[in-house]
Amino acid sequence: MKKRILIVNDEEALLVQLKDVLKGMGMDIYTAQNGIEALHKLAERNFNIVLADLKMPKMDGLQLLENIKKSYPNTYVVIMSGFGQIPQAVKAMKLGAYDFIQKPFDIDLLRLSLKKLLQTQDIIEENISLRKEVEEKYDFHHIVGKNYKMRKIYELITLAAEKDTTTLIWGETGTGKELIAKAIHYHSPRKKKSLIIVNCPAIPESLLESELFGHEKGSFTGAHTQRIGRFELAHQGTILLDEIGDFPLSMQGKLLRFLQDKEIRRVGGRDTLNLDVRILLATNRNLEELVSQGKFREDLYYRVNVLSISIPPLRERVDDIPLLAEHFLKKYAGLHNREENNISADAMNSLIQYPWPGNVRELENVIEKAVLLNKGETIDRFDLSILQKIPLYFGEADMYMPVETDLPYKEIKERLLNNWEREYLKGVLSKNSGNITQAAKQAGLNYKTFYEKLLKHSIDRKQFKK
C-alpha cells in the first residue's frame, strides 16, 4: 500500500514547494494549514508520516506532536523548525519526534530523512507481521513447525475444525496425532464442550462397548450401577478414538452404525439415545492394508476417510528439528528450574542427523534428559542420550565421524580419514566447478593422484560442473 504523508504548515507557498519536493518519493501527499486541521485529517485516515512546522497559529507543532503521540502512536512525526528554534526542536525530539529539519531546508537532507523513516517503518511492519505469522503458523495451538508439510497440515486442521466431518489422523508413533486432534477440537465450534480421548487398545475388548456406549444396571455380571459411556460424555463435543487400527471388528460395526444414525444404545438398555458427537480417529497403522487383511471393515474405512490428515515423520521435516529442540529446551528448562541454555552447533547437527524413529516424542525425551544432565552450560552433543546411535558431525566440513568407542582405534581412524578425504575431494572439486586439473592444483596434488582418489571414492566430477 502506498504510504501517506501529511504536511502541516501555515505558509501556502511552502506547502506547494514541499509537495513538489516530495512528489517523486512514491507517497500520497496531503496538506493541512495548522494543527487543528491536521488532527481532522488524521481522524479521517491513517498517515505514516506527519511533517509539521513548529510555529503555527491555533495549534503549534509541539501540541500537535503530543496529540499524535497519544492517539496515533504508529504515525511518525518530523518537525520543521526555523532559525533560532533549536530549544523547541530539542523538546520535540524529547517528546518523541522522529527527526527535525531546519529551515530553510536542504532538499536532499529532507528526502533522506523521510526515506530512512519509511525504511524504518517497513522493518517494523515486517517484524510485526513476521511475529504474527510466527504466532499463527509456527505455533499453531502448541504445534511447533514451519516445514511446508506442516503448514499444509495447519490448513487441514483449520478446515477440519470448520467442517464437522469425521476426521482421520494418520502418522507414525510420536508424530503429534493427539496434539493435532486437540488443535482441531479447540479450533472448532465445539471447543467449549468436552474432548473425550479413548485409547482403544487400553480397554479390554469385552469392556469396550460398555466403556464407549455405557451400560444399564445389571446388564452383565459386575454391572452394579448404570454407567454413562464415553460417547455420552462427549455429547455436543468431540471424541477421539485413538489407535483405531486396533479397534476390534465386533465394535467396528457398532461404530459404523453410530456414524450413520448418530444414536447409541447402552449395553442392556432398550432405548436409543440421540447424540451429537464429532468423531476424530487416530492411527499409526496403515488402514488400507488392514482392510485388505480383513482386519478393518472396508465400509467403515470409507466412512471415516472423508477428511484425513497424514502427519509426516520427523525425518521428513528435518528443518523443524532445531525449532522443536529449542521449544522443548525452553519447556523443560522452565519445568525443571534449569537455566535456559543453548544447544551447541555440534549437538544440533547430531540432532539433525538422527533419523528419529520415535519422532517428536523421542526428540522431546532426548532434550528433557539433556536438560537434566546438563550443569548449566551449553547443551553439548555429549549430553544427548542418542549420541551412541549417531555419527558425529563436524561443523563446517560436512563430515561425519563414527563415534562407537568400542571399535578399535585403527579402524576408527581409517574410517575418519576416509570420510575426511572424500569430503575434501568433493569440496575442492566443487570450488573448481568439477575441473580436475584446477582442483588438483589447489590441493597440491598431481593430476594422476587426484584422479585416482576420485575413482577410489567413486566421485563423479560432472556432478560439480556449473
Ligand X SMILES: Nc1ncnc2c1ncn2[C@@H]1O[C@H](COP(=O)(O)OP(=O)(O)OP(=O)(O)O)[C@@H](O)[C@H]1O
Residues of the shown chain interacting with ligand X in the complex, contacts defined by CB under 6 A: 143-145, 171, 173-179, 284, 324, 360-361, 364
CB of 323 to ligand X, least distance (A): 8
CB of 139 to ligand X, least distance (A): 8
Q: Which residue has the cell 523547541?
A: 88
Residue 358 interacts with which of Mg ion, ligand X, none, CB < 5 to 8 Å by class: none
- Residues 107, 26: Cα–Cα separation, whole Å: 16
Residue 303 interacts with which of ligand X, Mg ion, none, CB < 5 to 8 Å by class: none
Residue 143 interacts with which of ligand X, Mg ion, none, CB < 5 to 8 Å by class: ligand X
Residue 174 interacts with which of Mg ion, ligand X, none, CB < 5 to 8 Å by class: ligand X
| Residue pair 450/440 in contact by the 8 Å Cβ criterion | yes
User: How would you classify residue 96: left for phi > 0, otherwise alpha for psi between -120 and 50, otherwise beta?
Assistant: left
User: Which CB sits closer to ligand X, 5 or 241?
Assistant: 241
Residue 284 interacts with which of ligand X, Mg ion, none, CB < 5 to 8 Å by class: ligand X
Residue 245 interacts with which of Mg ion, ligand X, none, CB < 5 to 8 Å by class: none
CB of 264 to Mg ion, least distance (A): 24
User: Which CB sits closer to ligand X, 18 or 325?
Assistant: 325
- Residues 59, 76: Cα–Cα separation, whole Å: 18
Nearest to 258 by CA among 311, 179, 171, 198: 198
Amino acid at 364: E
Residue nearest to Mg ion (CB): 178
CB of 174 to ligand X, least distance (A): 5
C-alpha pair distances (Å), 381 with each of 251, 365, 407: 48, 15, 19
Residue 14 interacts with which of Mg ion, ligand X, none, CB < 5 to 8 Å by class: none
- Total residue length of the chain: 466
For strand 143-144 and strand 167-171, is the pairing parallel, antiparallel, or unpaired? unpaired
User: Which CB sits closer to ligand X, 365 or 438?
Assistant: 365
The answer to whether 246 contacts Mg ion (rule: CB under 5 A) is: no
User: Which CB sits closer to ligand X, 284 or 432?
Assistant: 284
177: Cβ contacts below 8 Å, ≥ 6 apart: 169, 170, 171, 242, 282, 283, 284, 311
Question: What 3-state class would DSSP assign to 297?
Answer: coil
User: Which CB sits closer to ligand X, 143 or 379?
Assistant: 143
Under rule CB under 5 A, how many of the chain's residues touch Mg ion? 2
Beta bridge partners of 228: 214
Beta bridge partners of 196: 239
Residue 361 interacts with which of Mg ion, ligand X, none, CB < 5 to 8 Å by class: ligand X
Question: What 3-state class would DSSP assign to 100?
Answer: strand
Q: Tell me the DSSP string of 103-125.
A: SSPPHHHHHHHHHHHHHHHHHHH
- Residues 178, 267: Cα–Cα separation, whole Å: 28
User: Which CB sits closer to ligand X, 15 or 150?
Assistant: 150
For strand 99-102 and strand 76-81, is the pairing parallel, antiparallel, or unpaired? parallel
Quote the DSSP letter at residue 56: -
User: Which CB sits closer to Mg ion, 180 or 390?
Assistant: 180
CA 249 to chain centre: 39
Residue nearest to ligand X (CB): 176
| Residue pair 458/427 in contact by the 8 Å Cβ criterion | no
CB of 145 to Mg ion, least distance (A): 17
CB of 322 to ligand X, least distance (A): 13
User: Which CB sits closer to Mg ion, 68 or 181?
Assistant: 181
Q: Tell me the DSSP string of 291-342.
A: HHTTSS-HHHHHHH-SEEEEEPPGGG-GGGHHHHHHHHHHHHHHHTT-----
User: Which CB sits closer to Mg ion, 89 or 169?
Assistant: 169
Quote the DSSP letter at residue 138: I
CB of 187 to ligand X, least distance (A): 15
CA 410 to chain centre: 45
Q: Which of 10, 37, 178, 423 binds Mg ion (CB under 5 A)?
A: 178
Residue 360 interacts with which of ligand X, Mg ion, none, CB < 5 to 8 Å by class: ligand X
CB of 180 to ligand X, least distance (A): 7
Q: Give burial (CB, 10 Å; 0-12/13-18/19+) of 466.
A: exposed
User: Which CB sits closer to ligand X, 49 or 156?
Assistant: 156
Residue 175 interacts with which of ligand X, Mg ion, none, CB < 5 to 8 Å by class: ligand X
CB of 362 to Mg ion, least distance (A): 13
Give contact residues for Mg ion (rule: CB under 5 A).
177-178
